[in-house]
Amino acid sequence: MLSYLHSFHAGNFADVLKHSISAYILDYLTSKPKPMFYLDTHSGVGAFSLFASEAQKNKEYQNGIGKLWHLSQDRNAFEQAPELVQQYLELIQQFNNSDELSHYPGSPWFAQHLLREHDRLNLFELHPREFKTLSQNFANDRRIKVFQKDGFHGCNSQLPPKERRGYILMDPPYEVKTDYQTALDAFIKAHKKFSTGTYALWYPVVNRKQIDLLEQQFKDSGVKNIQLFELGIGKDEDKGMNSSGMIVINPPWTLMKAAQQALPWLSTQLAGKEGFYRCEQLVEE
């Protein structure tokens, strides 16, 4: 199935979690001088107009970045936000280059912007239309290679990277229920080839039992040093996504503290008393 288009969901609360965590990881990894490698298994197009018909259909960005954008216009309020959130908002500001929130970046842009001249980026996207736009958006950056392949399988062909340092982001659409198991299997295979890399898996909470199973499978995988972060705007329901999460392997040692400061704040900003968050060490080092 290739029906999923992220343009309908760009900038929503799930993107706030995914991109704030991911940007923090990238910033940490690039603070060290040695080159690094970035791989995105499901890249999308890399940039979105929030005025486009897809984004305007349900206006999901209004439950995410739309509730935070005002902070970029109020210096005092901005400085009260946690460090992880400040870093994320500064990047969104740079992408828009305006006082108006009109566009939202995808994961490839965050990586392109934060990585350095001597780093490499590999972007995978299977959807024909998305792949074409992704290729056009990043055509002039020699650090970047774009592949029209299934990122689950293409990932392993690129590991281990010659840099011996890297961040692998998996953000599948979960169009089919087997994506959960496929993602888990891909993670474990990749980790066997490149055990020192940092990995992150984004997941939607549509069925809590499915996530409970995924967590247990990670715990039983034999992989060490796994953290979990969730952010939600409502209670779990049988239908629809009210929360999402990130499972991170080999995270920066500072990430847990940063998330423990940021996620309670974000949950309140995005959903008030209905907000929800989790910060857990699933598996010890």
**Catalytic residue of the set 40, 171, 185, 220:** 171
* Residue 191, marked binder: no
* Residue 19, marked binder: yes
* Residue 42, marked binder: yes
Report the distance separating Cα 77 and Cα 41, nearest Å. 36
* Residue 107, marked binder: yes
Q: Is 171 a catalytic residue?
A: yes
* Residue 150, marked binder: yes
* Residue 151, marked binder: yes
Q: Are 148 and 163 in contact (CB under 8 A)?
A: no
Q: Give the residue numbers annotated as catalytic, written as ranges.
A: 171
Q: Which residues are annotated as a binding site?
A: 19, 42, 107, 125, 150-151, 171
Q: Which residues are annotated as a binding site for S-adenosyl-L-methionine?
A: 19, 42, 107, 125, 150-151, 171
